[in-house]
Structure 1
């Protein structure tokens, strides 16, 4: 299978308000996010973990055979070429060969500056090992402090319109009134418009325009300000910011994903099988733009006889619908509600609907499938707020199941991202959210979590917050193998 490697350098990664709702009594779950307290040792931001000086090596030079496990030792070293004495570094690790790749089964943090990555060998031939330092322990410590102590570091925008939409006023919005207001903006003697949802109690507040009423709130617009984070941390910490420890979900072989945790079909479903399986079903795609990719893939490539409609949607936020009239299959896509990071598009306020409300409106006598993902727009909130959102969704899923015996629910995990240096959108933030989702949503009867984190680490196309069509095809094939199994 391959022989041991000499010491190899690591690859560099490419470019306290709780806000917990009053009356919510949900448990706090953080056991999946191991973050050692590195302040117990003397650390220097000047000498974080160095990807150039850190290295890894295969523990044994013996020949390896199919289904063996390769253990790789990683030693973290700082910029002074000194061995690190504490853990907390965040790595990606995978092996690959021609048309085959797989993420590490696990990366074990020994909390002393050393780590062990384990890879199960699922195909024959030579493999290349890649260990990538995504965030140093020092960067993770800074990100954790920012997330826990300054959740209101991202503010969103609202547009209020007067008259026949001839003039508009833009003001900041957030999930709480203790939002950050840029000192350069003139919002003296502020009052707030309270747009808290009546059904879910999810909060949303916007600064009220001086000359307009709250009911002139017409559309959600771009994120207001990303630079507030610069007021919270030092220049050294900003430069510092600018490992997963769970069983691997599967591997790619000949560009086809093979799951190790699910009994999915080995052969791809054919179009007649899919249409027969989904006949007379309504499929709801609820969440961010990564679940919209699923909706678009179903509409364009799977249900080729569908008619795609944009229901007065101004942007990719939906609502959108596609219909295959021949087989009675309806696809419906809706956003997950606020917060929404939109950089180019704008969204009509009337089009933004929270997931629990959408699920509660599903009829009880219909054959339905609900696909959910909610993560990419929550890196600027506290874990308490995100956890609360998940529990409200979980409650709505259970209500749906109690009234609709036909309902099937699948939750898509977070995926890796093309990290471009945005300090509020780091891989560690998204990985932390994903760990919380798995804890909250695991154990619900007849709910399946589709693990796409490893699918996007291991694919040769690289990290993208919006994976390419080959990855989306494998993700949807995995989902269909659950929905259309013979069991």
Structure 2
């Protein structure tokens, strides 16, 4: 790591360029790109501040990180290799070649015969599977696919009840009016004339640590929720869809986002002054091997880029929190600390109440 055209003193507003040369396990300079980095510029005095760098891959083993100097002080640079190019290739193969990495275990219950059975379910069905052997719960009109293995007992597909587990290959201003943490929550403030409604998205979702099974009939897809909303100038819709899709093929996530895009277009045709905000993915911790394989930063970053690509010409606010989470003063974590979430909310409110 070295400074490009180093100067004895820099001024606020200048660019600081950092050159990074990647090496292999034997210490030899690499001749190709594809490595995935986290970069950060930080200081503790006279102000405690941090920001991220924009990394350019020169595709020859060399990278340039660009930092805008926005405050005075003695600054430090942090460069972290999150995934080597070799690891990124493995992640790509897993994502693209293993369509059934996430398996949901769901229950079917025939109330007439009292027969019950648990079967495996997934958002993706492999090509060689006979569709007569599965129960299909797909909704093509909103770009959704979901399949379960058909029960062996004479139980109808419509008898699906709950999915309790997954296998992997309040603010004081508000008073709760109703709450079901596995599906939805509503909060109201008469003083501030605000009503909040939170709804959890449909599968895929991680429920292996849930206190109770996810009741299938209580879940709705984001597109369906948007279609049911009565919009207007005092209505704000916030979508945060990414974390539970990191263990899914990109095509699954892409199709859901297109379905949501179409729902937003339908909403704006009815209520053109409704604000829609999409909250992006953030950085994640990589403490264990499965974190790299299922919830890696590279997966999260690809999801963010896909969202921007699909929604780029739509009247939607992209609340990009990636750099904020990358530059925070905490260790990376899937669920950011409260002080970071506070800044997310502040940025959110800057769009709602400019």
| TM-score (norm. length: structure 2) | 0.90
1:467 matched residue in structure 2:
336
Q: CA deviation at 1:163?
A: 4.9
1:207 maps to which of 128, 143, 149: 149
Query: 3-state SS of the aligned residue for 1:151?
Result: coil
d(CA) in 2 for partners of 1:435 and 1:419? 21
**Matched residue pairs, number?**
344
- SS state of the match for residue 367, structure 1? coil
**Structure 1 389/329 Cα, relative in aligned 2: closer, same or farther at 3 Å?**
same
* Separation in 2, partners of 1:365, 1:475: 24
Question: Which residue does 1:334 correspond to in 2?
Answer: 199
- Deviation of 1:317 after TM superposition, in Å, equals 3.2
Q: In 2, distance between residues paired with 1:470 and 1:86?
A: 39
Instruction: Indicate the residue corresponding to 2:104 in structure 1.
Output: 156
CA apart distance, 1:481: 0.9
Structure 1 position 307 matched with structure 2 position 249: no
Partner deviation per Cα, 1:211-238 (whole Å, 9 max, x = no partner): 23323311122213x23xxxxxxxxxxx
Q: 2:138 aligns with which of 192, 196, 212?
A: 196
- Which 5+ residue runs of structure 2 have no aligned equivalent? none
User: What are the Cα deviations for residues 120-147 of structure 1, in whole angstroms up to 9, with x where unaligned?
Assistant: 1111111111000000000101111221
Q: How big is the shift at 1:156?
A: 1.6
Are the counterparts in 2 of residues 66 and 122 from structure 1 also a CA contact under 8 Å?
Answer: yes
CA distance in 2, matches of 1:463, 1:180: 40
2:11–2:72 Cα contact (<8 Å) kept: yes
Contact 1:196 1:204 in 2 (8 A): yes
- Higher RCO (Cα < 8 Å, 6 or more apart): 1
Match of 2:28 among 61, 82, 96: 82
* 1:152 partner SS: coil
Measure the CA separation in 2 of the matches of 1:180 and 1:452.
40
Cα RMSD (Å): 2.4
Mapped partners of 1:374, 1:115: distance in 2: 31
Residue number among 52, 57, 66 corresponding to 2:2 in the alignment: 57
The answer to whether the Cα contact below 8 Å between 1:190 and 1:207 also exists between their aligned partners in 2 is no
* Paired residue secondary structure (2:339): helix
Partner of 2:298: helix, strand, or coil?
helix
**How does 1:381-420 map onto structure 2 within 5 Å?**
381-420=248-287
The residue correspondences of 1:126-145 to structure 2 (distance < 5 A) are: 126-145=74-93
- CA distance in 1 between partners of 2:101 and 2:268 (Å): 37
**Alpha-carbon separation, structure 1, partners of 2:127 and 2:234:** 42
The answer to whether the aligner puts 1:435 opposite 2:305 as a matched pair is yes
* 2:209 aligned residue: 344
For 1:437 and 1:129, the matched residues in 2 are separated by 30
Contact 1:155 1:179 in 2 (8 A): no
- Secondary structure of 2:161 counterpart: strand
The verdict on how the C-alpha distance between 1:179 and 1:320 changes in structure 2, with shifts beyond 3 A counting, is: farther
Report the CA distance between 1:197 and its aligned residue.
2.9
Which residue of the partner structure matches residue 350 of structure 2?
Answer: 481
* Contiguous gaps of at least 5 residues in structure 1: 1-55, 182-188, 228-295
| C-alpha distance in structure 2 between counterparts of 1:205 and 1:174, whole Å | 5
